[in-house]
Amino acid sequence: MSPLCRLNGIGIYVPDKILSNHDLEKIIDTSDEWITVRTGIKRRRKAAPGQNTSDLALMACRNLFSNARLGIAPNDITHIIFASITPDSICPSTACNLSAKLGIPHVPALDFNAACSGFLYGLMLANGLVAAQPDAKVLLVAADILTSRVNWEDRGTCVLFGDGAGATVVTNHAAGRGEQDFSATLEDLSVGADSQGGPCLTAGIGGNTSAPYKLGDRVTENFFIQMDGREVFKHAVRNMSAASAGMLERNNVTIDSLECLIPHQANARILEAVAKKLNIPDDKLFINVQEYGNTSAVSLLIAMHDAYAQKRLSKGNKTLLTTFGAGFTWGSALLAIE
Ligand code: ACO
């Protein structure tokens, strides 16, 4: 299959504040042991008061553009697409807030929501843009402050999530590779959905449009993330495994020739179950959920960034990404590292 688009560089940002499992023991009825055994998570980052989603994204973009070898500056960007389930506000969009902060206020910018699958859905959108406009340079951003949308009295969900941001620039494959450190071509991508799974993972936030909040209403549980953890677990393993197996098969990629599997970092047990179903050995599975918790759409960007820094993604090799999130949504992508 001929390559689709190119990913140029990765910038990430996580807030300074670290919330360890032991910190959580002091505010809810939980234990480091329970969280570690059930999820693999040891710590997560928490945005500072006053920091919003576009602020995190701005820091990730600065880290991306500050690498001189990238050869792309904010002024070169033609579109901004922004994956988030915790936008700054409904309007203006977080993408527009980011474009203002980056000093490129005239660049077309929009938000989209595919929950934890946001990065791979974003690649689908960016790939379409650079196919239609071959000189486009699409800033694909994901950022979330999930710690602002969990119910800190619900121990079944609040221990799982963390905050962060990530960004990359997507260009047409024919535009050629620059001098940047990280560069990869997208060889294949598939995304899927099953909206029957919607009720298993919800966050009402501003209220239901059919029953809108009125001034003075009290915030209720459905404002926050609510989840049927067991159902989500089952569907996450099933769909990430099936999407990944299909991706490998249709591209004739054997497990031996695959360098790394990077799944959405939801929970170490989910990731290990996916790798097991695919017969992918432990040393090819990348996990960093212990450091950040589940950062939703950002998790693949942070994981790719860390895997690259740890020399787990090397030139000429293939990496498989896979994801699953609320909706339900899922996807899989095959990257060739350049
Ligand atoms: N600390 C201590 N005990 C807890 C905690 C906690 N933080 N949370 C729940 N428990 C208790 C429950 O109250 C219950 O107690 P009980 O037996 O006395 O009633 C017991 O632990 C078992 O609860 P379950 O919910 O059945 O535990 P389970 O083994 O299913 O693990 C978990 C829960 C970790 C949420 C698991 O279902 C899971 O990982 N699901 C996937 C969820 C996920 O990753 N979602 C992320 C969003 S979607 C995505 O990114 C893929």
DSSP state of 70: G
In angstroms, the CA 74 to CA 60 distance is 13
154 Cα to the center of ligand 1, angstroms: 10
Q: Is 264 a catalytic residue?
A: yes
In angstroms, the CA 58 to CA 54 distance is 6
For residue 112, give the amino acid letter.
F
In angstroms, the CA 308 to CA 191 distance is 24
pLDDT tens track for 96-145: 999 999 999 999 999 999 999 999 999 999 999 999 999 999 999 999 99
* pLDDT mean over 217-222: 86
In angstroms, the CA 335 to CA 240 distance is 16
DSSP state of 226: E
What pLDDT is stored for residue 1 in this prediction? Answer: 55
Residues with CB under 6 A from ligand 1: 30, 34-35, 38-39, 116, 155-156, 159-160, 201, 227, 229-230, 232-233, 236, 264, 266-267, 270, 294, 324-325
| Whole-structure pTM value | 0.96
Nearest to 115 by CA among 317, 277, 328: 328
CA distance to 2, 29, 124, 126, 196, per residue, from 88 (Å): 38, 30, 24, 22, 28
Residue nearest to atom 10 of ligand 1 (CA): 156
For residue 51, give the amino acid letter.
Q
Give the count of beta carbons closer than 10 Å to the beta carbon of residue 216: 5
Six token digits for residue 35: 């969280």
What pLDDT is stored for residue 127 in this prediction? Answer: 97
- The catalytically annotated residue of 97, 151, 239, 294 is 294
304 Cα to the center of ligand 1, angstroms: 27
Residue nearest to atom 8 of ligand 1 (CA): 156
159 Cα to the center of ligand 1, angstroms: 9
DSSP state of 338: -
pLDDT above 70 as % of the chain: 99
Q: Is 294 a catalytic residue?
A: yes
The region of weakest confidence among 33-37, 87-91, 242-246 is 87-91
CATH number given to 5-183: 3.40.47.10
Work out the angle at residue 247's Cα, subtended by the Cα atoms of residues 136 and 318, and round it to the nearest 5 degrees. 70
Q: How confident is the model at residue 69 (pLDDT cuts 50, 70, 90)?
A: confident
- Are the C-beta atoms of 336 and 185 separated by less than 8 Å? yes
DSSP state of 228: -
Q: Is 200 a catalytic residue?
A: no
The beta strand positions in 49-103, using DSSP E, are 79-83
32 Cα to the center of ligand 1, angstroms: 13
Atom of ligand 1 nearest to the CA of 294: 50
Residue nearest to atom 2 of ligand 1 (CA): 30
How large is the C-alpha radius of gyration of the chain?
19
Six token digits for residue 154: 């619900």
Q: Element (H or E) spanning 291, and its range?
A: helix 289-292
In angstroms, the CA 255 to CA 285 distance is 11
Answer whether residue 6 shows pLDDT above 70: yes
Among 149, 233, 289, 329, residue to substitute to test ligand 1 (most atoms within 8 Å of Cβ): 233
pLDDT tens track for 278-313: 999 999 999 999 999 999 999 999 999 999 999 999
> What is the total residue count of the chain?
338
pLDDT tens track for 159-204: 999 999 999 999 999 888 888 889 999 999 999 999 999 999 999 8
Q: Element (H or E) spanning 270, and its range?
A: helix 268-277
Atom of ligand 1 nearest to the CA of 159: 7
Q: How confident is the model at residue 314 (pLDDT cuts 50, 70, 90)?
A: very high
- The catalytically annotated residue of 5, 96, 116, 158 is 116
Six token digits for residue 178: 């620059």
What fold is seen in the domain 184-337? Peroxisomal Thiolase; Chain A, domain 1 (3.40.47)
- Are the C-beta atoms of 6 and 173 separated by less than 8 Å? yes
What pLDDT is stored for residue 114 in this prediction? Answer: 97
Among 117, 235, 267, residue to substitute to test ligand 1 (most atoms within 8 Å of Cβ): 267
What are the domain boundaries of the chain? 5-183, 184-337
Chain-wide mean pLDDT for the chain? 95
Answer whether residue 2 shows pLDDT above 70: no
Are 5-183 and 184-337 the same fold in CATH? yes
